[in-house]
Amino acid sequence: MKIGIIGLPNVGKSTLFNALTKLQVLEANYPFATIEPNVGTVEVIDPRLKVLSKIFHSKKTIAALIEFRDIAGLVAGASQGEGLGNQFLSHIRHVDAICHVVKCFEDPNIAHVVDKSDPLEEIKIIETELALSDLEQIEKRLQKIAKQKKKGDKDLIIEHALLTKIKNHLTNEIAEKLVLSDEELKMVKNFNLLFLKPSLYLANIKERDLININANPFLQKVLAYAQQKGKKVIPLCLQLEKELSFLKTQDKAIFLQDYGLTQTAFTRLIQESYQLLGLQTYFTAGPQEVHAWAFTKGLKAPECAKIIHTDFQKGSIKAEV
């Protein structure tokens, strides 16, 4: 499962990616420092792994993994190709969920692609470009099937009606209120529509704001907007989180205590990302290793067994509970 890190240029996407994955991709104070997506995996922290490891005296412990992709910054006009926008939007189509990074502070030393610091304007630029990209795709398909449906093809008539409904919602900026049935979702699955991808906001704040996040007016705007959209917000200071990611566990705990925190924002981000993807965990355990396996909620035991090896699904008889 893949999560795409998106946002305007210079909001902290690559800093987030580096701190999460312990990689060292280019972080630069100018637009489009990233062109091709950076890809890295992150372990899902699960205390049950240690418990099982002790019970089975396992030699090795393997956590479930989430793949993060650092996608180049989008700008206004991206859906029309501005700033290599079409290329970057295509990268987003290949992820399963979206982490939208928003800068919630002012800093004259950071290069801007908008005239002033306004997180809501920045969010709307990105969401508008995602919607326009979806609209373009839908309109092309509608034009293609318009003549064919006149011949009475029932499937095309149904598809045309569904795409028209989606188009109207996107045009009126109420896509988040659109409820699609399981059957309708299957019909549009191959479109990889961006507005259907689950998403959350990551609000990048200054270190001083961690003591009292309610004092940050930019963050309050994002929280109110996210509540309207039914989305979650994770406030964090990316520079601080990056420093924490390289500390030992004991030193990290002392650092967090100074800020009145019980866990890093990255720990919460990984947990929220896991939920966003609709994932759960099952374990295999023995003397050699304890292994956490991620599966999509709703899968049955034989389908989960296939995650380990296809032969396990073929030879599956029953599961004891």
- Give the pLDDT confidence score for residue 116 in this predicted structure: 73
Residue 268 in domain: yes
Residue 204 in domain: yes
Distance CA 39, CA 94 (A): 12
**CB 238 within 8 Å of CB 14:** no
**CB 315 within 8 Å of CB 305:** no
Residue 320 in domain: no
- Give the pLDDT confidence score for residue 193 in this predicted structure: 93
What is the full per-residue pLDDT of the chain (321 aa) written as tens digits?
899 999 988 888 888 888 888 776 555 544 444 557 788 889 998 999 999 999 999 999 999 999 999 888 777 665 665 544 466 788 899 999 999 999 998 876 665 666 677 899 999 989 988 988 899 999 999 998 887 777 777 888 899 999 999 999 988 876 677 889 999 999 999 999 999 999 999 999 998 888 888 899 999 999 999 999 899 999 999 888 888 887 887 888 888 888 777 888 888 888 999 999 999 999 999 999 999 999 999 898 888 888 888 877 777 776 666
Strands (E), the chain: 2-6, 38-43, 60-62, 65-70, 97-103, 199-204, 233-236, 279-285, 289-296
Residue 148 in domain: yes
Among 56, 54, 21, which Cα is nearest to 38's? 21
- Give the pLDDT confidence score for residue 208 in this predicted structure: 87
Number of separate domains in the chain: 1
**CB 78 within 8 Å of CB 86:** yes
- 258 Cβ neighbours under 8 A, 6+ residues apart: none
| Rg (alpha carbons) of the chain, rounded to whole number | 22
Place of tokens 């093809």: 153
Distance CA 100, CA 200 (A): 6
- pTM, two decimals, is 0.85
Residues in the chain: 321
Residue 319 in domain: no
- Give the pLDDT confidence score for residue 50 in this predicted structure: 94
Distance CA 64, CA 88 (A): 28
| Whole-Å CA distances, 262 to 141, 232, 252, 257, 269 | 50, 19, 10, 7, 14
Q: Write out the residue range of the structural domain in which residue 18 sits.
A: 2-314
CATH code, domain carrying 109 = 3.40.50.300
- Give the pLDDT confidence score for residue 77 in this predicted structure: 63
Residue 321 in domain: no
Residue 129 in domain: yes
